């Protein structure tokens, strides 16, 4: 009668040797995810944008803001939303009562100095007109991007796809290492 070696307690006992594929499948998923995260953390600094220093005067965008506001108001008018309604909606959203249509007209006129939108007015304008061109422009001046809820779903899908690719790459490397070690 032949003696058999007892199997180590940390290994599963089965009827035959495990294939490298099965060994990788039996690794805890958390181990694979942690390895993928570690690798992503090593690569992330290479992918992150390093903002350049803005040139003096590059944020003087009063004329561009006035033009974008005018375009947004014109687009709203094409959808039968008049400036009185937009001004009233902005005031309601800010909790300050109506802002005047006259002030909104002056904000939209590049020739009118001293009629700039405040930050909370930009948010109210964006919601009242349903036009995000102004806020996208301003974010772009800061090296940022505005992402809508719909676009965020795509960003999340891309992030998950990248994480999945990292897990698959790690699995392949582990499988290769196990195959080499088994030889």
Q: Write out pLDDT tens, residues 47-81.
A: 565 556 777 877 888 899 999 999 999 999 999 99
Helical residues (DSSP H) of 27-132, grouped into ranges: 29-47, 62-78, 83-94, 101-107, 119-129
DSSP state of 100: P
Cβ count near 86 (within 10 Å)? 23
The rounded distance, in Å, linking the Cα atoms of 182 and 12 is 16
The rounded distance, in Å, linking the Cα atoms of 82 and 73 is 8
CB 153 within 8 Å of CB 102: no
Between 124 and 58, the more confident residue is 124
Mean pLDDT of the residues in the chain: 79
Identify the burial level of 137 via C-beta atoms within 10 angstroms of its C-beta, where 0-12 means exposed, 13-18 middle and 19 or more buried: middle
Q: Write out pLDDT tens, residues 11-53.
A: 444 445 555 455 545 556 666 566 666 666 665 665 565 556 7
CB 73 within 8 Å of CB 129: yes
Give residue limits of the domains in the chain: 62-141, 147-183
Q: How many helices (H) and strands (E) does the chain have?
A: 8, 0
Structure tokens given for 101: 């249509």
The rounded distance, in Å, linking the Cα atoms of 137 and 64 is 9
State if pTM tops 0.85: no
């Amino acid at each position: 009668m032949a003696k058999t070696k007892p199997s180590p307690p940390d290994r599963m006992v089965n009827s035959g040797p495990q294939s490298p594929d099965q060994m990788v499948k039996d690794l805890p998923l958390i181990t694979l995810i942690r390895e993928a995260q570690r690798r992503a953390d090593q690569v992330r600094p290479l992918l992150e944008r390093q903002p350049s220093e803005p040139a003096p005067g590059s944020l003087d965008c009063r004329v561009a803001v006035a033009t974008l506001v005018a375009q947004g108001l014109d687009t709203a008018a094409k959808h039968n939303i008049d400036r009185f309604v937009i001004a009233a909606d902005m005031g309601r959203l800010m909790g300050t009562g109506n802002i005047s249509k006259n002030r909104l007209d002056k904000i939209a006129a590049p020739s009118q100095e001293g009629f700039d939108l405040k930050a909370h007015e930009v948010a109210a304008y964006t919601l009242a007109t349903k036009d995000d061109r102004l806020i996208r422009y301003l974010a772009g001046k800061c090296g940022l991007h505005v992402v809508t809820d719909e676009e965020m779903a795509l960003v999340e899908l891309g992030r998950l796809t990248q994480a999945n690719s990292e897990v698959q790459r790690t699995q392949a490397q582990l499988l290769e290492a196990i195959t080499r070690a088994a030889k």
